[in-house]
Amino acid sequence: MNPLIMLNEVQIEEIRKLAKDKREYLGIASEVPIANDIVTILEKLDIILLEYPIYSKGDSPDFSAAIMYSEEDNKELTFIGLNTADYFDKQVFAIAHELYHYFTKTGSHISRLNDIDNNLLEAKANRFAAEFLFPEIALKSIIINEFKTSKLEKTSDKTLMRFMVRLQCSWWLPYRSIVKRLSEISAISKEQYNRFYDIDVRNLESEHAKIGIAFNSEVYSKLNKKTNKIGTSAKDIEIIIRNFEDGLIDEDKFAEVLDLFDKTPDDFGYKITVSDEDLEEFEDFFSGGNLDED
């Protein structure tokens, strides 16, 4: 097993500044959760989101997301492929992770967020995702305001558990990312980190799940659900329709592309016979066949 990558102070500060600058560029204050608005951010950046469930043989997906680029009419197009066979909170984190690669221009690749951070580039992307979604300055402020101290070593497990569940439901990070954030700012001890990190939060009978459902059943259930969604944004669907209406793609291509997102021309008022096209190229994209893996 490769050793765990530990970022140094300079690297962490560079990532913190990058996340702060990008939030400011997007008009998002540090105390405001991004949560489900991550999709809106992609639209602002002209990144096309492709959602598709890719299943693996084990319990966890083989990958969480992928980023790739292509060129059309001398214009570079950016795509993020999101594996919706993963839990929704990890989908949100995976998109933020890919935004690091987008902002730093590190090229096409596949992200496997279940892996240990034993790759420097991936460790940086994971730290950026956490800082972008939940800025350190906001977390520290919340802790000070609620507990009147920056250290939570003496806080009871039950109180700390409720606190982390509330953070998760407000900021939409995976539970273990919340635990890691608290450890990164030295708010909790190593023993607390190990104790809370090992909790199986996907077990709906666990204390964590019961608290989450009691606090905010709708959000907690959404975060802990594998959506298995097939689709892209309404904006990108509109582009596909207009390309057809302008004669840039024919009926077969129009039907084929919509079929990728589990839609038909009839959904938009067009009566077209759908041809039986091979979707292997689309599957290859999500399986990483055309990408260089880090």
> For 91-131, what is each residue's pLDDT tens digit?
999 999 999 999 998 876 666 645 545 688 889 999 999 99
The letter for the amino acid at 204 is L
Note the pLDDT of residue 148: 97
25 vs 27: CA distance, rounded Å: 5
pTM recorded for the entire structure: 0.82
Inform me whether the pLDDT recorded for 278 exceeds 50: no
Domain boundaries, the chain: 1-133+277-294, 145-225, 234-276
User: How is 238-269 classified by DSSP, letter by letter?
Assistant: HHHHHHHHTTSS-HHHHHHHHHHTT--GGGGT
> For 238-265, what is each residue's pLDDT tens digit?
888 888 888 888 887 788 778 877 788 8
